[in-house]
Amino acid sequence: MQDNPPQILILGGTGKVGKTVCDYLLKNTLCQLNIVTRNTKPDLTEYADYSGRLTALNFDALNKEQLSQHCKEADLVISCIGPSQVIGSTIVDICYRTVTPYIDAGGYDPLLKHLANLVATEPAKVPLIINAGLLPGLSGVYPKYLIDQYASNETITSLEVSYVGRDAWSYNSAWDIIVGLGDFGEDRGFCYIADKQLIKVPFYKATQKKVFPAPIGKVGTMLIYSEELRRLINQYQIPNLKVYGANIGAKAAFSCAISKIFGQYKTPEKLAKAAKRLASASAKDMLKSDPIYAIQAEIQLANGQQITGSLLTGDTYYATGTVIAITAKYLLENTIAAGAYSLHEAIPSEVIIEQLQAQQIIQLITTTNDSLKRSEAI
């Protein structure tokens, strides 16, 4: 980007995701990191070997005046804080106005819509990349990777994608999960896309059993809406899309079901209680289980061929941080046109997938009608 080492402002650099981002960028770039925390000045003693490339900052990222000043001095802003629904558009709006490239670990549908409206009025002058985590993020990158690798010159008639995962969800992650149960206020309910039209279905038609590679096995999933994947099928002119999801920790799944049935995503007070309950339930699940996350995609081609791929990873926070860091390194070293992007629209899918494979963070299993390809296990 420039002769001097880039200055990167990392919001939430001491959390699970933020630490992974910092570790990766210190080891794989020459950038200067300015690590921001809200309540206490960050303890950076674990980075003693890189002390000359680190600055600790203490301020609230939602303080627009302070954040604006620091953004003006940065070459890139990375946000690892949440919940996404609470942070909203505050940070990206400031980066848009200060002309500072931005990467957001979350984002979700409301911010995608906000950005689309923002850049329609006046185009962005730098890349603004949201949904740069696991879900959303890798959840869009991996289906695109399969399309690019196996069906780039073919007519695709349908795409079906399923997500399942378990981990000890932080309060912020749990908040975003609960908000997602309410479809981010859009009230689409259980739905899928057929012939480019949104089709709603009742609860009893929204469930489907999915079989994932070991150690997951058979899982009950529910239809969900994904703006990220709707953008992907629009890009490739795919007329049909179904997306399924499930939280596979037993206690966490029950907690999500209660929140869904009683509409606890409808008010901030109920949402906060539901998020605390989900965080507690998922932590109890992890006393007897290991974290795991999987994406499965089925691509149906007009010639009758079917391509099925599965991606598995373990620690979801480590995977998320690595995806963000890979994105940041790519942005620093390559030219990305100014604009507002979901992750799969900003970075070549193979860049992220191949680097995650090289670090043995993911396992891939891909099948066509008569072939099977496996990557090294995580």
The string of pLDDT tens digits covering residues 180-198 is: 998 888 878 899 999 999 9
Q: Are residues 171 and 185 both part of a single domain?
A: yes
What six digits make up the tokens of 178? Answer: 């609960």
Shared domain for 224 and 152, answered yes or no, is yes
Q: 11: part of which helix (H) or strand (E)?
A: strand 7-11
Q: Would you say residue 2 lies in a domain?
A: no
What integer best gives the mean pLDDT of the chain? 92
- Full-model pTM: 0.93
Indicate if 332 and 273 belong to the same structural domain: no
| Statement to judge: residues 96 and 202 lie in one domain | no
Q: What is the pLDDT of residues 75-95, one digit of tens each?
A: 999 999 988 888 989 999 999
pLDDT of 107 reads 81
SS3 string, 277-288, reads HHHHHHHHHCCC
pLDDT of residue 213: 93
User: Are residues 207 and 76 located together in one domain of the fold?
Assistant: no
Would 183 be classed as within a structural domain? yes
| 335 and 193 in a common domain | no
CA separation for the pair 134, 22 (Å, rounded): 17
Distance CA 162, CA 244 (A): 4
Neighbouring C-beta atoms of residue 184, cutoff 10 Å: 21
User: In degrees, to the nearest 5, what angle opens at C-alpha 299 toward C-alphas 108 and 182?
Assistant: 25
DSSP for 224-255?
Answer: ---HHHHHHHHHHT--EEEEEEEE-SHHHHHH
Residue 271's pLDDT band (boundaries 50, 70, 90)?
very high
Higher confidence at residue 86 or residue 31? 31
CA atoms in the 13 A half-sphere facing the CB of 289? 21
Position 41 scores a pLDDT of: 73
pLDDT of residue 162 exceeding 60, the answer is yes
Average pLDDT over residues 279-298: 96
Q: Three-state SS across 294-362? A: EEEEEEEECCCCEEEEEEEECCHHHHHHHHHHHHHHHHHHCCCCCEEEEHHHHCCHHHHHHHHHHCCCE
The CATH code of the domain that includes 167 is 3.30.360.10
pLDDT at 1 over 50: no
Total of domains in the chain = 2
**What amino acid is encoded at 218 in this protein?**
K
Does 159 lie in the same domain as 101?
no
Instruction: State the average pLDDT over residues 128-142.
Output: 95
Residue 280 lies in a domain: yes
Question: What range does the domain containing 234 cover?
Answer: 138-316+355-374
- Residue 283 maps to a domain: yes
Of residues 163, 150, 99, the one with CA closest to residue 294: 163
Tokens describing residue 33: 């990191």
| pLDDT for residue 22 | 95
In eight-state DSSP terms, residue 6 is: P
129 versus 44: the higher-pLDDT residue is 129
**Same domain as 156, residue 102:** no
Same structural domain for residues 177 and 241? yes
Interior angle at CA 312, CA 182 and CA 351, nearest 5: 95
Same-domain status, 167 and 296: yes
Same domain? 303 vs 322: no
pLDDT band at 378 (very low <50, low <70, confident <90, very high): very low
**Amino acid type, 136:** P
Mean pLDDT calculated for residue range 360-372 = 79
Residue 169: its pLDDT value, please?
95
Q: Which residues have C-beta within 8 Å of that of residue 364, sequence separation ≥ 6?
A: 309, 310, 311, 353, 357, 373, 374, 375
Q: Mark whether 302 and 329 lie in a shared domain.
A: no
Q: Residue range 344-361: average pLDDT? A: 96
pLDDT at 375: 52
User: Which range, of 11-25, 174-188, 285-299, averages the lowest pLDDT?
Assistant: 174-188
- Contact assessment for residue 290 and residue 314, using Cβ atoms and an 8 Å cutoff: yes
Angle subtended by helix axes 316-333 and 138-150, to nearest 10: 70
pLDDT, mean of residues 92-118? 93
pLDDT for residue 154 is more than 70: yes
CATH number where 129 lies:
3.40.50.720
pLDDT at residue 236 tops 70: yes
Give the pLDDT band of residue 158 (cuts 50, 70, 90).
very high
Residue 376 has pLDDT above 60, yes or no: no
In a domain, 1, yes or no: no
Is residue 274 predicted with pLDDT exceeding 80? yes
